[in-house]
């Protein structure tokens, strides 16, 4: 991201953090920074992120899919913190000559307001009305497969994809074959995790393979895409 854009958006992060207050986290990602993309953040206690934190798996997948080419922003989508707390998030795609260079993400923790809402309804309504009162907690959405998980580091992302497969193979006393490794690398590529600097060495370690082997799998997948 060009220095002029950086300075402009860093100042905006500080401004929004002060104006919106402690229930809103504002994070600025510079994609040129690889897996340490957060370069400015206000109210990081919302997701326990700080400077140098990586992009979430959901945002990596969006970048990999190219969805940002057709949209300027994503509004009011559900994200899940590492403590399984449901949050509301919105993201602006920062572009420079149509190239995606960064993200400005706003995450809202509305749990306090939900608690207040329940308390007020309990005070204002007699018991017979409360029987018919319906209130859907935002936490119910935490099981939504499309919810973004705000994770902590790149190993969490890799484990999410390959952990279950490795466990299943272990329980069945089956060896991990090449086709299994290629399938897992394909899923990691689909989710955009291969875009993170330093991802390949971690993937190689988890799969007990060399980095050269992982790069060969990636090349094979890219050739398959070209021939499709």
DSSP secondary structure string, 51-108?
A: TTPPPPHHHHHHHHHTGGGT-SEEEEEEEE-TT--EEEEEEEEEEETTEEEEEEEEEE
Phi, psi angle pair for 79, to nearest 5°: -130, 155
Domain 3-110+143-149: top CATH class: alpha beta
Q: Which residue has the higher pLDDT, 226 or 20?
A: 20
What is the band of 14 on the pLDDT scale with cuts at 50, 70, 90?
Answer: very high
What percent of the chain has pLDDT above 90?
24
- Residue length of the chain: 228
Task: Out of 100-109, 111-120, 158-167, 217-226, pick the least confident.
Answer: 111-120
Residue 168 has pLDDT above 80, yes or no: no
pLDDT in tens, 25-59: 999 999 998 888 999 999 998 888 889 988 887 78
- Between 212 and 115, residue with greater pLDDT: 212
Q: Average per-residue pLDDT in the chain?
A: 79
What's the CA gap between 41 and 72, in Å, rounded? 21
Task: Please tell me the least confidently modeled range out of 29-38, 71-80, 150-159, 172-181.
Answer: 150-159
Pairing of strands 73-80, 86-96: antiparallel
Which of these, 87, 1, 94, lies nearest to 44 by C-alpha position? 87
pLDDT digits (tens, 9 = 90+) for 199-213: 888 888 888 889 999
Please report the pLDDT score of residue 109 as a whole number.
84
DSSP letter assigned to residue 109: -
* Closest of 105, 71, 70 to residue 91, by C-alpha: 105
What three-state secondary structure class fits 131?
A: coil
3-state secondary structure at position 209: coil
């Amino acid at each position: 991201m060009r220095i002029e854009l950086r300075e402009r958006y860093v100042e905006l992060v500080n401004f929004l953090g002060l104006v919106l207050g402690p229930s809103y986290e504002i994070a600025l990602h510079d994609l040129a920074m690889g897996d340490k993309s957060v370069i400015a953040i206000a109210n990081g206690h919302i997701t326990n992120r700080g400077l140098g934190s990586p992009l979430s798996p959901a945002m990596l997948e969006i970048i990999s899919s190219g969805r940002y080419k057709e949209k300027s922003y994503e509004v009011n989508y559900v994200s899940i913190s590492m403590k399984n707390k449901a949050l509301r998030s919105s993201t602006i795609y920062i572009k420079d000559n149509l190239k995606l260079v960064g993200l400005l993400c706003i995450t809202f923790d509305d749990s306090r307001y939900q608690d207040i809402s329940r308390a007020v309804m309990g005070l204002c309504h007699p018991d017979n009305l409360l029987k018919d009162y319906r209130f859907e907690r935002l936490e119910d959405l935490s099981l939504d497969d499309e919810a973004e998980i705000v994770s902590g580091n790149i190993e969490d992302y890799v484990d999410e994809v390959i952990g279950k497969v490795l466990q299943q193979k272990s329980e069945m006393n089956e060896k991990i074959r090449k086709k299994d490794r290629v399938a897992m690398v394909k899923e990691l590529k689909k989710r955009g995790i291969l875009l993170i600097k330093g991802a390949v060495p971690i993937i190689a370690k988890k799969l007990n393979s060399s980095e050269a082997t992982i790069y060969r799998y990636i090349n094979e997948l890219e050739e398959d895409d070209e021939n499709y």
